[in-house]
A and B are shown apart, each in its own frame.
Chain A
Amino acid sequence: MALDSNTVKKIAFLARIKVPDSDLGGLANELNNIIGWVEQLGEVNTEGVEPMTSVAEMSLYKRADEVTDGAYPERVLANAPEPEKGFYTVPKVVE
Chain B
Amino acid sequence: MAALTDLTLAEAAAGLAAGDFTSIELTDASLAAMEAGRALNAFITETPELARARAAESDARRGRGETRGPLDGVPVAIKDLFCTEGVLTTAGSHILDGFTPTYESTVSQNLRNAGAVMIGKTNLDEFAMGSSNATSYYGPVINPWRADDGKDRVPGGSSGGSASSVAARICFGATGTDTGGSIRQPGSFCGIVGMKPTYGRCSRWGIVAFASSLDQAGPMTRTVRDAALMLQGMAGHDPKDSTSTPVDLPDFAAALTGDIRGMKIGIPKEYRLDGMPEEIEALWRQGVEWLEAAGAETREVSLPHTKYALPTYYIIAPAEASSNLARYDGVRYGLRVPGDSLDEMYENTRGAGFGAEVRRRVLIGTYVLSAGYYDAYYIKAQRVRSLIARDFDRAFEEVDALLTPTAPSAAFALGEKMDDPIAMYLNDVFTVPSSLAGLPAISVPAGLSREGLPLGLQIITPAFDEERVFRVGEVLETASSFDTRLRGA
Contact = CB atoms under 8 A, between A and B. Distances in A.
B246 interface: yes
A91 B350 CA distance: 16
Contacts of B311: 37-41
Contact of A15 (B308, B362, B437, B463): B362
B100 interface: yes
B371 to A, nearest CB: 10
B239 A51 contact: no
A89 B237 CA distance: 36
Contact of A16 (B312, B314, B333, B346): B346
Given A37-B422, A55-B438, A80-B331, A18 B386 contact: no
Given A11-B367, A46-B387, A80 B200 contact: no
Contacts of B322: 15
A3 B242 CA distance: 37
Interface residues of B, number: 72
Contacts of A17: 347, 350-351, 354, 359, 362-363
Interface string B240-251: 001111100000
B213 interface: yes
Interface in B444-485: 463
Nearest to B237: A61
User: Considering residues A3, A16, A49, A81, which has the most beta carbons from chain B within 10 angstroms of its beta carbon?
Assistant: A16
Contact of A18 (B244, B312, B350, B422): B350
Interface string A16-42: 111100000001001101110111111
B22 interface: no
B272 interface: no
Contacts of B334: 79, 81
B198 interface: yes
Q: Which 8 A-B pairs have the closest CB atoms?
A: A18-B351, A51-B382, A79-B333, A81-B336, A55-B438, A46-B383, A18-B347, A16-B346
30 contacts: A3-B367, A11-B367, A14-B366, A16-B347, A17-B350, A17-B359, A18-B347, A18-B348, A18-B351, A27-B360, A34-B422, A38-B315, A39-B311, A40-B311, A41-B380, A41-B384, A44-B308, A46-B380, A49-B386, A50-B383, A51-B383, A55-B199, A55-B214, A56-B199, A56-B463, A60-B242, A79-B98, A80-B331, A80-B333, A91-B344
Interface of A: 3, 7-8, 11-19, 27, 30-31, 33-35, 37-44, 46, 49-53, 55-56, 58, 60-61, 63, 75, 78-82, 88-91, 93
Interface of B: 98-103, 198-200, 213-214, 237, 239, 242-246, 305, 308, 311-312, 314-315, 322, 329-336, 338-348, 350-352, 354, 359-360, 362-364, 366-367, 370, 377, 379-387, 389, 421-422, 437-438, 463
Given A52-B386, A53-B382, 11 more contacts: A18-B351, A19-B359, A33-B422, A38-B377, A44-B387, A50-B383, A52-B385, A55-B213, A80-B331, A81-B330, A90-B342
